[in-house]
Amino acid sequence: MTELAPPPTASPSAHGVRVAHDDLLRFTAAVFTAHGIPPERAKAAATALCHGDITGTTSHGLVNLTRIYLPLLTTGRARADAEPRVLADRGATVLLDGQGALGLWLAGEAMDLATRRAAEYGIGLVSVRGGTHFGCAGPHALRAVAHGMVGVVAANCGHQRIARPPGGRVPMLGTNPLSVAAPAGANPPFLLDMSTTTVPTGKVRAAARAGDPVPEGWLADDAGAPVTDPARFDDGEAHLTWLGGAGPGQYKGFGLGLMVEVLAALVPGAGLGPSPAALSVDGAPDDDIGYLVLAIAPAALRQPGIYQREAGSLFGALLACPPIEPGGEVSYPGVPEARHAERSRRDGVPVGRELFTELSALGERLGVAPPGVC
C-alpha cells in the first residue's frame, strides 16, 4: 500500500502550503470523529494517515481521506464502532476478527497487543482477518519501536486482484505491502515500507493524472515489454511488474507477494486474491483484508540495553560508510523519512494546493475548522 523508497522528493513550497503538524492531526481526527469514529480511535487513525504526508509518502496520506476512508465509512464497508473479536488466543498468538473496523486504527491496536504479548513471550503475533485498508504499513510497524521492539506488518488486499502471476493472464494478487521497523540506537529507526510490486498502483495513477510517462520497469505489456504510458494500466494493456522486473527476477517479487498473501491472509482466514472466483469475476473489492502484525522483543531474550547498543553500531556503520561520490552519503530506509518528518514538525507539513482546497471544503461541510497554514 505504500513505498517509502526512493527518498521523498516532495517540494512543498513549489506546489502547496505548509500546515502546522499538530493542527493537521487535530483536523484529521475531527473529520473521523464527525463520521462516528470514537475520539481515541480517531486520533490514532489520524496519526496513521498523516504519517504519509509527514514523512513525504504523499501517495498514502491525506489524499486518500476522501478517496478511500470516508467512502469506506459512509458506505458501511468500514464500521466506525466495530468491536474486534478475539477468535483464538494462544498467548504469543492472537487471532483477531477486525469486524470491518477502520484499518488505520485497527492495525495499530493489533500492534499494541502484539507488543504486550512479545514482552512476555519474546514474540507476539496478532493475525487479523476482517480488516480494512490501513494506509501506510510503516506507522503501524513503528509502534513496536516505541517499546524497543522490532515490528513487522504486512497486509494483503482482501479479494482485490491487481497483479498477475508471471506468465498469467488474470490478476490474482494485490500489491501486498510489507513493513519492518527496528530501533537503531541513537540513529533514526530502520523503517522499510514497500509494496512487493515494483511500485504500488497509486504511483501509476498519479503519473496518469499528471500526464507524465512512468519509468521503464514499472509496467509491462503481455509480452513483457516495458510500457511507459501510465494510462495503459487502467486500460488493462499494461500490468504492474513484480519487484525484480519483468525478467526471471520477477519470481522473487512474486514470491514475496505470495509470502504476504500466506502470512497475512491465509493464516488468519481473510479474503484471498487467488481463488476460483478470480477466474470469473472482475473487480473484486478489497474487503476482508488480512494483516500480519508481529513484534519481537530483544529485551525479553538478552540483557536490557545491549540490543540498542549493537543496533546503534550497525546503523551507525551504515551511515558512516564512505560514499562512492565525493560529498555523497549513505543512508538506509527510514532515514529520509525521519528527516522529512523532522522538517514537517518544525516548519509544517507540506500539503499540495489542490489537496488543501479539498480538505478546507471538507472541513467547512462537516463544521470542522480547517487546518491552519504556517
Site for a second copy in 152-171 (CB under 8 A): 152, 164-170
Cell numbers for 165: 502471476
What residues from 171 to 230 belong to the interface with a second copy (CB under 8 A)? 172, 180, 182, 190, 192, 194, 198, 215, 217, 222-223
Task: Give least dist CB 374 to a second copy, A.
Answer: 30
**H or E stretch at 171:** none
Nearer to a second copy, 44 or 258 (CB): 258
Site string for a second copy, 131-150 (x = CB under 8 A): -------------------x
138, 244, 348, 352: which one binds a second copy (CB under 8 A): 244
Using the rule CB under 8 A, give the single segment among 20-28, 36-44, 75-83, 239-247 that binds a second copy: 239-247
Judge contact between 81 and 67, C-beta under 8 A: no
Contacts of 69 (CB under 8 A, 6+ apart): 32, 45, 49, 78, 102, 104, 133
**H or E stretch at 289:** strand 289-296
Residue 329, CA atoms < 13 Å, CB-side half-sphere: 7
**H or E stretch at 195:** none
Judge contact between 16 and 355, C-beta under 8 A: yes
Nearer to a second copy, 221 or 354 (CB): 221
What residues from 281 to 340 belong to the interface with a second copy (CB under 8 A)? 296, 298, 300-302, 306-307, 310-311, 313-318, 320-325, 328-333
Interface with a second copy includes 255 (CB under 8 A)? yes
Interface with a second copy includes 127 (CB under 8 A)? yes
Cell numbers for 55: 514523512
Nearer to a second copy, 85 or 302 (CB): 302
* Cα–Cα distance list, 47 to 44, 136, 215, 367 (Å): 5, 11, 32, 21
Over its C-alpha atoms, the chain yields an Rg (Å, rounded) of 20
Q: Closest Cα to residue 131, out of 91, 197, 72, 75?
A: 72
Parallel, antiparallel or unpaired: strands 178-182 and 190-194: antiparallel
Task: Give least dist CB 356 to a second copy, A.
Answer: 28
Task: Give least dist CB 94 to a second copy, A.
Answer: 8
Give ∠ CA 26-32-34 in degrees, rounded to 5.
100
Task: Give least dist CB 124 to a second copy, A.
Answer: 8
Site string for a second copy, 34-73 (x = CB under 8 A): ----------------------------------------
Task: Give least dist CB 19 to a second copy, A.
Answer: 28
Nearer to a second copy, 269 or 370 (CB): 269
Task: Give least dist CB 74 to a second copy, A.
Answer: 32
Contacts of 235 (CB under 8 A, 6+ apart): none
Cell numbers for 136: 501506510
Interface with a second copy includes 233 (CB under 8 A)? no
Judge contact between 261 and 176, C-beta under 8 A: yes
Site string for a second copy, 69-98 (x = CB under 8 A): ------------------xx-xxxx-x---
What residues from 261 to 280 belong to the interface with a second copy (CB under 8 A)? 261-263, 266-269, 272, 274-276, 278-279
Task: Give least dist CB 18 to a second copy, A.
Answer: 26
Task: Give least dist CB 182 to a second copy, A.
Answer: 5
For residue 75, give the 3-state DSSP assignment.
Answer: coil
Instruction: Tell me the longest C-alpha to C-alpha distance in the chain.
Output: 56
Nearer to a second copy, 37 or 155 (CB): 155
Cell numbers for 252: 522473487
